[in-house]
């Protein structure tokens, strides 16, 4: 994965998985599909990893084993699903699901960034214009250096914080970095809830595929937790394998942890008792994917309004302060002129 994931990265992954699923549906094998994509990859970042993957597969390794040996390429979520698909024979279905998942991720990411564009423009305009006294000295007295220094002292910290948020918030960072980022993002209204719902959707999809592939239940829960992209969820799920081995059913464990919402627990318990865990997990996945999408959309809608309101208040304060200072100066001049 690149240093900072962009909507284009997700879209390339979506296209990569879509083309594989299409070729598998047409009857081509995995090796033939990858050899075709090696000649015309959906992106350069993906293309550079196909050749070493094919080299490993020619030595007898499976696709999941091959991509796991290439650090930093595919997320653990993808690798777990690919491994489950290989064991269950559901490669075409899983690759199609991954394609749809990353296409939706690209859409949500792009929508969020576009929602931040207008506030970013307004913020830059406000920083460049205010305080008006510096702009006046720049125009009339050519004081370039103080003006540029003051603006950079404001903008550089903003850029640094924004880039740090993008960098540390990526799913391919170290576990402790992601844990800190998750706590910070969790404080932000709507965005924190959207990220937690997305983690539950990823967890449900991975668990369903792993269980359908016949993976040992405790191991399936552990792998699904690692695939969720949420350090908090992963930490809780890491407690499940030993308890399941000790004789507890997952439905008995879920109500003990707040990381699992009531709806998740209810649907899973229903599936466990009815013998349709696969169907329940698919329903859970669809529900939380839709919830995450709605909350990301709401976040993208509200951020421009909130930031715009804050900037309006700040600009209004600057204007009032400027005129209060101006009238005070005029008043002092008048008072001085009237003194004999």
Domains and CATH numbers, the chain: 7-99 (1.20.81.30), 108-340 (1.20.81.30)
**pTM attached to this predicted model:** 0.76
Tokens linked to 229: 């992209």
301 sits in the region (left: phi over 0; alpha: psi -120 to 50; else beta) called alpha
- pLDDT of amino acid 168: 65
Q: Is residue 126 over pLDDT 80?
A: no
Q: Give Cα separations from 176 to 74, 143, 246 (angstroms).
A: 19, 46, 29
Per residue in 59-102, pLDDT (tens digit) is 999 999 999 999 878 888 899 889 888 988 889 989 998 999 89
Please report the pLDDT score of residue 251 as a whole number. Answer: 93
Compute the average pLDDT of residues 219-236.
Answer: 91
The mean-pLDDT minimum among 37-41, 114-118, 229-233 falls in 114-118
Q: In the predicted model, is pLDDT for residue 204 greater than 90?
A: yes
Give the distance between the most distant pair of CA atoms in the chain.
Answer: 102
What is the number of other CB atoms lying within 10 angstroms of the CB of residue 330?
10
- For position 299, what pLDDT does the model report? 86
State percent of the chain over pLDDT 70: 92
The C-alpha atoms of residue 143 and residue 148 are separated, in whole angstroms, by 9
| Contact by Cβ (8 Å): 132, 325 | no
Cα atoms in the Cβ-side hemisphere of radius 13 Å centred on 333: 6
CA atoms within 13 A on the CB side of 27: 0
């Amino acid at each position: 994965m690149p240093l900072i994931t962009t909507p284009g990265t997700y879209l390339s992954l979506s296209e990569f998985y879509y083309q594989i699923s299409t070729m598998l549906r047409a009857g081509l094998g995995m090796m033939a599909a990858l050899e075709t994509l090696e000649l015309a990859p959906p992106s350069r970042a993906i293309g550079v990893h196909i050749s070493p993957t094919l080299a490993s597969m020619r030595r007898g390794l499976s696709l999941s084993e091959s991509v796991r040996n290439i650090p930093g390429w595919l997320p653990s979520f993808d690798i777990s699903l690919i491994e489950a698909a290989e064991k269950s024979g559901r490669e075409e279905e899983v690759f199609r699901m991954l394609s749809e998942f990353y296409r939706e991720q690209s859409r949500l990411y792009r929508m969020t960034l576009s929602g931040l564009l207008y506030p970013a423009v307004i913020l830059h305009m406000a920083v460049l214009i205010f305080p008006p006294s510096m702009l006046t000295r720049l125009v009339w007295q050519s004081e370039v250096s103080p003006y540029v220094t003051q603006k950079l002292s404001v903008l550089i910290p903003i850029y640094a914080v924004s880039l740090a948020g993008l960098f540390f918030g990526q799913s391919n960072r170290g576990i402790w970095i992601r844990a800190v980022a998750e706590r910070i993002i969790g404080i932000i209204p709507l965005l924190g809830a959207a990220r937690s719902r997305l983690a539950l959707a990823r967890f449900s999809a991975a668990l369903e595929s792993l269980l359908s592939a016949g993976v040992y239940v405790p191991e399936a829960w552990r792998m699904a937790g690692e695939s969720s992209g949420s350090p908090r969820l992963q930490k809780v799920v890491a407690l499940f394998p030993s308890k399941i081995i000790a004789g507890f059913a997952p439905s008995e464990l879920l109500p003990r942890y707040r990381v699992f919402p009531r709806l998740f627990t209810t649907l899973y318990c229903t599936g466990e008792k009815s013998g349709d865990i696969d169907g329940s997990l698919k329903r859970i996945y669809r529900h939380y994917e839709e919830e995450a999408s709605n909350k990301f959309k709401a976040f993208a809608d509200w951020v421009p309004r909130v930031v715009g309101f804050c900037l309006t208040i700040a600009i209004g304060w600057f204007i009032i302060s400027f005129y209060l200072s101006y009238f005070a100066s005029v008043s002092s001049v008048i008072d001085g002129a009237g003194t004999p």
